[in-house]
Amino acid sequence: MLEELTRYLDSVVARDPSPRSRWEVMLYPGVWALGLHRVAHWLFEAELYFPARAVNHISRFLTAIDIHPGAKIGRNFFIDHGFVVIGETAEIGDNVTMYQGSTLGGTNPTNGVGGKRHPTLGDDVIVSLGAAILGPLMIGKGARIGANAVVTRDVPEGATMVGIPAKSTLVEVNSETQNFVPYGTPCSERFDPATQKLELLQCEMLAMQLRLNSLLEERDAKAAKQSSARKRSGTKQA
């Protein structure tokens, strides 16, 4: 038990350079939220639904993190900061990281009958701040969901998704990159923590440029269509 806890705390330290010791990590709201969720999930599996919900509400009050007792979470799950929401039928693999404000949301069944409504995250997935993954989607191993992205379709392994709705970018996850990249969306092949703010800004600029190019293409296509329509109209009148 102690060895497993130590291994988990070390996994958090590997993803966050700010703590000076394991004791400091023990104060993280994400660590408390995960520990209390383990208790709530055990009660949920035993069909003790009200006590499970009670533990869930206590956890949410203390940590500002809402994890439904029914959610299945693997090893070394790390929530950096808080204000995260994880739905009932969500399934999370090993070594997954979620940042503040991210959501694993569900679809609302029209017949009122529950089922698989929330996402499944593979191992080593990074969900950046403000991102939302909605519905019973499959997020492949090693995928990275960029800041404020809204994912409504399955994501293949190793993809980096940005935008609303989220689309894959040219940023690839490969063996040459570092094992962990804060916030999940570096723009260079090698990510240097010393230049984190600059690289995150570059990512935002890249996403904006991609969006601008898409809007320009839509405008040009619309203008060409209108021009063609006017020509056809002029030919008919002549």
Q: Tell me the pLDDT band of 206, cut-offs 50, 70 and 90.
A: confident
- pLDDT band at 60; cut points 50, 70, 90: very high
- Which CATH superfamily, name and number, covers 2-186? Hexapeptide repeat proteins (2.160.10.10)
**φ/ψ of residue 126, rounded to 5:** -120, 125
The whole-number pLDDT of residue 137 equals 92
Task: Could you list the beta-strand ranges (E) of 14-149.
Answer: 66-67, 72-73, 78-80, 85-86, 91-92, 97-99, 103-105, 120-121, 126-127, 132-134, 138-139, 144-145
Q: 172-187 as b/e, with b when 16 or more CB fall inside 10 Å?
A: ebeeeeeeebbbbbbb
- Rg value, the chain, Cα: 22
**Region 70-74: what's the mean pLDDT?**
94
CA distance 117 to 89: 6
Q: Where are the domains of the chain?
A: 2-186
Cα angle value 142/145/149 (rounded, 5°): 165
Q: Taking residues 156-180, report their average pLDDT.
A: 68
Cβ proximity of 68 and 87 under 8 Å: yes
Band of pLDDT at residue 169, cut at 50, 70 and 90: confident
Q: How many CB atoms lie within 10 A of CB 49?
A: 12
Is pLDDT of 124 > 50? yes
